[in-house]
Amino acid sequence: MDFSALPQEELEQIIERIAREMLAEGLRTPAGRDVAICSCHGCGSSACPDTLARGFDAGADRIGIEQKLPAAAAHLAARIDHTLLKPDATYTQLDQLCAEARDFHFATVCVNPVNVRRCARLLAGTRTKVCSVVGFPLGATMADAKSYETRRVIGEGACEVDMVIHVGALKSGDDDAVRRDIAAVADACRDGGAILKVILECCLLNDDEKVRGCKLSVAAGADFVKTSTGFSTGGATVADVALMRRAVGRAVGVKAAGGIRDLATAQAMQSAGADRIGASASVKIVNEVAGAR
């Protein structure tokens, strides 16, 4: 947020609120030490309104806050791909996505290819990686085009790639075409040291097709299988996650994505076998764990 244009009274109110919220959340310094309590306001010294005000007076437009999450919330956050794949996503929204990912230590931000470079720059030096999508959202793209797109997003800074399979080929029983399609992207990921997640788009498949898609993904070199793009007729279901986990065993991970908007749903997906959650409501979900609804 740009504070420079705010009236002084409003700025003082924001500073005071930030200070109190930092104290209430039990924040720690970046080095991990407990925040010292100041004598003037009874809050963390780094959150003292006077200290914050001096920072703004010196020309700061933003402040950085490292949040201390409860262990359960941190554990879940580390397994979430914080997602923004809307075609109209603005730079401001992407910047906010990355700021939230830094604060909550999400596993990745998942963004469209054109936004990888920006997000990689914003997240440089943090534990959060950048994930991008390939052949998205239909999967109806040539295998060599998917391979090229994969190499490009890795070159831009993506460490994980979520590709959409050739759904029509799978439904037609052309398993060789599906395997080649996945393998083309898997080879590019292996060359670039990136993790590959294969999106099956389960809402378009019957159970037999889901199982075949899982097994073909494993055979072709996938690191994860994923339920959905979130852009088709349905998202993740507990039944699909459980089926996919049975199909792949422990050989690869399972990512549940699409329609996961609350803690109860995220936990149900994890209980069914999901190792990773894709969500745009990530902050809300983690805050439910932390009790900050």
Geometric angle at alpha carbon 164, from 159 and 165, rounded to 5°: 125
Name the residue among 9, 27, 6, 16 with its Cα closest to residue 50.
Answer: 16
> What is the distance between the alpha carbons of residues 259 and 267, in angstroms, rounded to a whole number?
13
The pair of three-digit structure tokens given for residue 210, joined into one six-digit string: 């889901």
Q: Count of CB atoms within 10 A of residue 231's CB?
A: 16
User: Is 226 noted as a catalytic residue in this protein?
Assistant: yes
The pair of three-digit structure tokens given for residue 73, joined into one six-digit string: 């919330």
Instruction: State how beta strands 195-199 and 253-257 pair.
Output: unpaired
Which of the residues 129, 146, 210, 255 is marked catalytic?
Answer: 255
> What is the distance between the alpha carbons of residues 118 and 159, in angstroms, rounded to a whole number?
14
User: Is 57 noted as a catalytic residue in this protein?
Assistant: no
- Tell me: cis bond preceding 70? Omega within 30 of 0 counts: no
- Are 258 and 276 a contacting pair, CB within 8 Å? no
Geometric angle at alpha carbon 226, from 223 and 231, rounded to 5°: 140
Which of the residues 103, 162, 223, 240 is marked catalytic?
Answer: 162
Q: Where are the alpha helices (DSSP H) in the chain?
A: 8-24, 49-57, 71-77, 91-104, 116-122, 143-156, 167-171, 175-192, 207-220, 238-248, 263-272, 282-290
Locate tokens 């959340």: which residue?
Answer: 25
Give 188's contacts (C-beta < 8 A, 6+ positions apart). 147, 148, 150, 151, 154, 161, 194
- Are 185 and 161 a contacting pair, CB within 8 Å? yes
User: Is 103 noted as a catalytic residue in this protein?
Assistant: no
Question: Which residues are identified as catalytic?
Answer: 162, 226, 255
